[in-house]
Amino acid sequence: MSRSSRLLFTAALAAPLAGLALAGCATTPNSGATAALTPPPAAAQPSTGSSNYGLFLAGESALQDGRAEDASRYFSRAAEGSADLSPADRALIREKAFETAVMAGEIERAVTLVPAADVPVGAAPQRLARLVKTVDAFSAGRNKEAHEIITGPGGGVAFAGGLVLLRPWVAAAAGDVDASLSTTEAPGPRLTRLSALEGQALLLERAKRYDEAEKDYKILTGNAQLGALYAGSYGAFLERRGRPKDAAELYGEILKRAPNDRDMKRAFARASTGKRAPPMMTLKQGAAKALTAAAELALVNKQINEGEVYLRLALKLDPVRDEAWVLLGDIRASSDQHDSARDAYGHVAAASPNWSQARQRIVSSYQAQGDNETALKLARDLIKAQPDDRDALIAEADLLRATNRYGEAVTVLDKIIAAGPSNGDWALYFERGTSLDRAGRWPEAEKDLLKALTLQPDEPDVLNYLGYSWVVRGEKLQQAMNMLQKAFQAQPQSGEIADSLGWAYYSMGDYKTAVQRLERAVSLSPVSPEITDHLGDAYWRAGRKTEAQYQWSRVLTLQPTEELKTSAQQKLSSGLMAPVAAATRS
Q: What are 220-278's pLDDT values in tens digits? A: 999 888 889 999 999 999 999 999 999 999 999 999 888 878 889 999 999 999 899 99
Q: How far apart are CA 233 and CA 246, in angstroms?
A: 13
Write the Ramachandran bin of 114: left for phi over 0, alpha for psi from -120 to 50, otherwise beta: beta
Q: What CATH class is the domain 154-336?
A: mainly alpha
CB 287 within 8 A of CB 166: yes
pLDDT score recorded for residue 581? 46
Report the alpha-carbon distance of residue 485 to residue 491 in Å, rounded: 10
Q: What is the pLDDT of residue 20?
A: 31
Q: DSSP per residue over 15-37, as a string?
A: PPSTT----S-TT-S-TTHHHHS
313-336 b/e (C-beta count within 10 Å ≥ 16 → b): bbbbbbeebbbbbbbbbbbbbbbe
Nearest to 100 by CA among 27, 188, 191: 27
Task: Give the pTM.
Answer: 0.76
| Single-letter amino acid, residue 506 | Y
Residue 298's nearest CA partner among 162, 165, 163, 416 is 162
Which amino acid, 82? S
Distance CA 201, CA 213 (A): 4
Is the four-CA dihedral 193, 195, 201, 202 of positive or negative sign?
negative
171 and 179 Cβ atoms separated by less than 8 Å: yes
Phi, psi of 239 (to 5 degrees): -65, -45
**For 14, which DSSP code?**
S
Q: What is the largest CA-CA distance in the chain?
A: 88
CA 300 → CA 226, 264, 465, distances in Å?
A: 14, 23, 32
Q: How far apart are CA 541 and CA 514, in angstroms?
A: 10
Residue type, 462: V
For residue range 484-497, what is the model confidence (pLDDT) as tens digits?
999 999 999 999 99
The parts of the chain modelled with pLDDT lower than 70 are 1-50, 116-123, 154-158, 183-188, 421-423, 578-586
How far apart are the C-alpha atoms of 521 and 526, rounded to whole Å?
Answer: 8
- What does the DSSP 8-state code read for residue 302? T
DSSP readout, 147-176?
HHHHTSS---STTHHHHHHHHHHHHHHTT-
Which residues make Cβ contacts (< 8 Å) with residue 317, sequence separation at least 6?
A: 135, 138, 139, 284, 285, 287, 288, 291
**Please, which residues have CB within 8 angstroms of residue 497's CB and are 6 or more apart in sequence?**
460, 464, 484, 487, 488, 491
CA distance 30 to 245: 55
Mapped onto helix, strand or coil, the DSSP state of residue 262 is: helix
Q: CA torsion 120→124→125→131, rounded to 10°? A: 130
DSSP 305-331: HHHHHHHHHHHHH-TT-HHHHHHHHHH
pLDDT score recorded for residue 63:
84
Q: Estimate the crossing angle of helix 477-490 against helix 495-507, to 10 degrees.
A: 150
How many other CB atoms are there within 10 angstroms of residue 386's CB atom? 14
- Cα–Cα nearest to 499, from 476, 479, 483, 516: 516
The three-state secondary structure class of 474 is coil
Alpha-carbon gap, residue 334 to 346, rounded angstroms? 17
Report pLDDT for 321: 96
State the first-to-last Cα distance of the chain, in angstroms, to the nearest integer. Answer: 40
For 392-402, the pLDDT digits (tens) are 899 999 999 99
Distance of CA 298 to the CA centre of its chain: 13
Identity of the residue numbered 403 = T
Inter-residue contact 200 to 181 (CB < 8 Å): yes
pLDDT for residue 119:
56
Nearest to 71 by CA among 93, 41, 87: 93
Q: Which of 517, 534, 526 is nearest to 558 (CA)?
A: 526
Whether the Cβ atoms of residue 407 and residue 395 lie closer than 8 Å to each other: no
DSSP state of 229: G
Burial of 108-133, coded b for 16+ CB within 10 Å and e otherwise, reads eebbebbbeeeeebbebbbbbbbbbb
Q: How far apart are CA 123 and CA 157, in angstroms?
A: 9
Residue 15 CA to residue 3 CA, distance in Å, equals 20
- pLDDT recorded at residue 378: 93
Percent of the chain that is helix, strand, coil (3-state, to 5): 70, 0, 30
What are the residue boundaries of the structural domains of the chain, listed by start?
A: 154-336
